[in-house]
Amino acid sequence: MELQKINEDSFDSFIQSDEPVMVDFYATWCESCKAMMPILEKIVAENENIKIAKVDIDENRGLVEKYGLKSIPTLMVFQKGELKETSIGRIPKDKVLELLSK
């Protein structure tokens, strides 16, 4: 499995999962975002039950406004459509997994 790229149209259906799912808000020009991508890709590759999607903030301004994003990368964990956890900035693999397990 790989990271899914979602947008404003597919966002709501993605976060309506019974299991926790993570959304990575990123930008192609963001160096910290680029550093997070291999970590997230590795987690998804190693764990078939973990779902992580990425949202390009430059292409999805409505989501940026809806969630009041001020910095990237921002990782948000949702379950049944409800925001459960948020992390801002680059974090190591173990912290990403910890966010998903809360």
The answer to whether residue 15 scores a pLDDT higher than 80 is yes
pTM tops 0.85: yes
Q: Annotated catalytic residue: which of 6, 15, 33, 100?
A: 33
Residue 30 is a catalytic residue: yes
Domains located in the chain, CATH noted: 4-90 (3.40.30.10)
Q: Annotated catalytic residue: which of 30, 37, 43, 97?
A: 30
Instruction: Specify the pLDDT at position 48.
Output: 87
Instruction: Specify the pLDDT at position 33.
Output: 97
Cα–Cα distance between 17 and 82 in angstroms, integer?
10
Q: Note the maximum CA span of the chain.
A: 33
Cα–Cα distance between 40 and 91 in angstroms, integer?
10
Average pLDDT over the chain, rounded to whole? 95
Structural tokens at position 89: 């900035």
Residue 33 is a catalytic residue: yes
> Residue 87 — pLDDT band, cuts 50, 70, 90?
very high
